[in-house]
Amino acid sequence: MTEHSEVVIGRAGADHVTVRVLGLMYPGSEDYWDGNWLLSPISARLGAFTADIGAGLRIDELRTFRRGLERIDRELRGEAVLESMEQWITLTVVCQPNGSLVVTGVLDDEPATGNRLTFTIPGLDQSDIPTMVGALATIETTYPVRGRP
């Protein structure tokens, strides 16, 4: 049985972006380049906009984002970036000196040829980080990075 996991950036009932991981795109591949692709649709509720994108992200992209969030949580400064190789999403979390988070991003429904939504997610602070880190760690435990670049 495949386990489905998700990470929510923002808060349910308010502006948020959700990355849901359905499984490996190429489950038989063990190499770094093919074996780390995830079936990972992205949904969003941002102001008056909603979006559902059939994206594919990489495990290592989510790991980099988790590590950045952990650094922010530890140091209460800096930024964490989720940037997909195929340009489905770019999301940046910046920690302000008072602990509030500035979350900005771009979603593309068809990278390079489709529609682009630029957004911010207001109202977050450092207390939101552990939930995101925990969700990302669960995804990594279920789908560890395969191979080396």
Confidence of residue 1 (pLDDT cuts 50, 70, 90): very low
Residue 84 domain-assigned?
yes
Residue 64 domain-assigned?
yes
Domain interval for residue 49: 5-142
In whole angstroms, give the CA distance from residue 148 to residue 116: 32
Surface-to-core class of residue 137, CB atoms within 10 Å of its CB (0-12 exposed, 13-18 middle, 19+ buried): middle
Residue 149 domain-assigned?
no
Residue 147 domain-assigned?
no
pLDDT given at position 3: 56
Q: Which tens digits make up the pLDDT trace of 93-106?
A: 999 999 999 999 99
Confidence of residue 12 (pLDDT cuts 50, 70, 90): confident
pLDDT given at position 4: 75
Which pTM value belongs to this model?
A: 0.95
Q: Which tens digits make up the pLDDT trace of 50-107?
A: 999 999 999 999 999 999 999 999 999 999 999 999 999 999 999 999 999 999 999 9
Positive or negative torsion for Cα 67, 108, 8, 99: positive
**CA–CA distances in Å: residue 42 to residues 29, 33, 63, 83, 95:** 23, 21, 17, 13, 23
Residue 35 domain-assigned?
yes
Residue 10 domain-assigned?
yes
Total domain count, the chain: 1
pLDDT given at position 112: 86
